[in-house]
Amino acid sequence: MVQLNNTNKSISRPFTITSILLLIVGMLFGIMGSLQYIIPGLLKEQLSFEKIRPMHVSSIIFWIIIGSVGSVFNYLQLHTQKKLYSRMLAKATFFIFSISIIVILFSYCFGIFGGREYWEFNPIIALPIFIGWILFMINFIKSIGSFRNQPVYVWMWLTGIFFFLFTFLESYLWLFPYFRNNIVNDMTIQWKSYGSMVGSWNMLLYGSSIFLMEKISDEKKYSSSPIAFALYFIGLFNLMFNWGHHIYTLPTYPFIKNISYLVSMTELLILGRIIFLWKSTLTKNLKHLNSITYRFILAADVWIFSTLLLAIAMSIPAINIYTHGTHITVAHTMGATIGINSFLLLAISFDILATHHNNDIGNKKYVNLGFWMTNISLFIFWISLIIAGIIKSKWQMTLNKEPFSTMMLQLKPFFIVFCISGMALFTGFILVISSLIKYHIFYKRK
């Protein structure tokens, strides 16, 4: 496998560095938001929760999107053994995304909204994001050339790019009164688009992860194997049709819910495969334990298992009515975005920014401490949310409910644990990231 030189890497590095900055900023907003849960009224007049939450969510969403786009640009060149079709288009994509996220964060800070949950910014800002994505798509398709006999990760990247574009446009159908003037219609289409959109950026990221694993192990068999394509189709099938589990309690068409329930159960095949291959995967991963990249991939494997288990349980309508609207849903989202997406992106970031010396990274003591700190605190963070969710679920199902504020008071000890473990998680990430950045600067100077 040919190593990319610094010139070619100069395309993906700005994406990776910007995405890491967004992770840091997003985590800081997250800590501020969790403090507002335990100290009611904190910064109420300056940065109240309706501003902090979208600032946290958008920073994290763009950490995943910008990081994934950077990883595709990086590995695409390695895969084709050629430079990108257009460096200028890649630069334009980077500047458009970067300026958009700055405008978005400032608009939230000043309380300028107008969009819907997760894309709360004024819909006009969706336009540059759309244009940036089109440029990314053109660059990708032109760089690949022919799609004949391509490995699974190329198809995953293409799927992610196409479906993000489609679902992003779909999520703005509410701009037409036909879609928005009834809450049930509006929410049906909203969650149809959101459910698939998450699947689309997962496709980009998982594609890059498969490429990275093959690069490290120097084996190229998996990505062209029938099992890889079978798993890709299960993932795609779920991306397209399992979104209905978000809206089981919405009075929408029953067939949407039934299709989603059935499709979600196909994820049991993925779960079964993880269990079946557990021992061999573990043995293989332990061989590369010195590599920080591989260590984060191994941690992501554990979180994939836990998150998938929770996701499958939540996709059963009979269980979903207990978990829906509770912090169990938040636990699932946090497990997926931190334990899977963020860990995989960190593994990729190490590969992009600190190549060659991945096994002997900067100050190993701090990286090790950071790695274990993130994993242990994430576990405590996750458990505290699940317990808070169980208590809220019990409250939701009680006949004579206590007031909402009384129930929230009962959850306070778990919010305190959640907040403290969130701070520890942030510290762990900072230890890892600071070593990575230090090494990157050192390596560049050399």
Partner 1 sequence: MIVLLLLLFCYLLYSLILYSELPVKLYSKNKEGEIGKLVWQKYNCNSCHQLYGLGGYLGPDLTNVYSSRSKEYIKSFLMNGTATMPKFNINEYEINSLIQYFRSIDNSGKSDPRIFRIKTDGTIE
Q: Choose one: 23-31, 137-145, 230-238, 277-285; the region binding partner 1 (CB under 8 A).
A: 230-238
Q: For the window 231-250, what string marks contact with partner 1 as x by the rule CB under 8 A?
A: --x--xx--xx----xxxxx
Give the nearest distance from C-beta 68 to partner 1 in angstroms: 21
Q: Per CB under 8 A, which of residues 201..220 are in contact with partner 1? A: none
Cα 232 from chain centroid (whole Å): 18
Window 23 to 82, contacts with partner 1 (CB under 8 A): 36-37, 40-41, 44-45, 48-51, 53-54
Choosing from 13, 79, 257, 440, the residue that interacts with partner 1 (CB under 8 A) is 257
Count of alpha carbons within 13 angstroms of residue 387, beta-carbon side = 15
Determine if 258 is a binding residue for partner 1 (CB under 8 A). Answer: yes
Q: Which is nearer to partner 1, 102 or 184 (CB)?
A: 184
User: And the tokens for 228?
Assistant: 């890889």
Residues 150-169 that bind partner 1 (CB under 8 A): 155
Which residues inside 404-433 make contact with partner 1, applying CB under 8 A? 404
Shortest Å distance, C-beta 281 to partner 1: 26
The one among 277, 397, 409, 441 contacting partner 1 by CB under 8 A: 397
Q: Minimum CB separation from partner 1 for residue 396, in Å?
A: 6
Segment interacting with partner 1, rule: CB under 8 A, options 24-32, 91-99, 252-260, 364-372: 252-260
Q: How far apart are CA 427 and CA 333, in angstroms?
A: 20
| Interaction between residue 399 and partner 1 (CB under 8 A) | yes
278 is a contact residue toward partner 1 (CB under 8 A): no
The residue (of 199 and 370) whose beta carbon lies closer to partner 1 is: 199
Could you say which of 29, 62, 296, 322 contacts partner 1 (CB under 8 A)?
322
- 218 vs 254, which CB is nearer to partner 1? 254
- Does residue 270 interact with partner 1 by CB under 8 A? no
Residues between 174 and 203 with contacts to partner 1, criterion CB under 8 A: 177-189, 191-192
- Among 95, 106, 253, 442, contact with partner 1 (rule: CB under 8 A): 253
- For partner 1, give the closer residue by CB, 53 or 440: 53
Question: Which region among 277-285, 311-319, 356-364, 367-375 touches partner 1 (by CB under 8 A)?
Answer: 311-319
Measured between alpha carbons, how far is 355 from 3 in angstroms, rounded to an integer? 9
Residue 16 or 193 with smaller CB distance to partner 1: 193
3-state secondary structure the chain: CCCCCHHHHHHHHHHHHHHHHHHHHHHHHHHHHHHHHHCCCCCCCCCCHHHHHHHHHHHHHHHHHHHHHHHHHHHHHHHHCCCCCCHHHHHHHHHHHHHHHHHHHHHHHCCCCCCECCECCCHHHHHHHHHHHHHHHHHHHHHHCCCCCCCHHHHHHHHHHHHHHHHHHHCCHHHCHHHHCCHHHHHHHHHHHHHHHHHHHHHHHHHHHHHHHHHHHCCCCHHHCHHHHHHHHHHHHHHHHCHHHHHCCCCCCHHHHHHHHHHHCCHHHHHHHHHHCHHHHHHHHHHCCCCHHHHHHHHHHHHHHHHHHHHHHHCCHHHHHHHCCCHHHHHHHHHHHHHHHHHHHHHHHHHHHCCCCHHHCCCHHHHHHHHHHHHHHHHHHHHHHHHHHHHHHHHHHCCCCCCHHHHHHHHHHHHHHHHHHHHHHHHHHHHHHHHHHHHHHHHHHC
**3-state class of 351 per DSSP?**
helix
Which residue in 19, 93, 242, 252 binds partner 1 (CB under 8 A)?
252
Q: Is 134 in the site for partner 1 (CB under 8 A)?
A: no
**How far is residue 368 from each of residues 27, 42, 289, 295, 362, measured CA to CA in Å?**
20, 35, 11, 10, 11
Nearer to partner 1, 54 or 70 (CB): 54
Q: Does 120 bind partner 1 (CB under 8 A)?
A: yes
Give the x-and-dash track for 332-351 against partner 1 (CB under 8 A).
Answer: --------------------
Binding to partner 1 by residue 114, rule CB under 8 A?
yes
Smallest gap, in angstroms, from Cβ of residue 366 to partner 1? 35
Using the rule CB under 8 A, is 173 a contact of partner 1?
A: yes
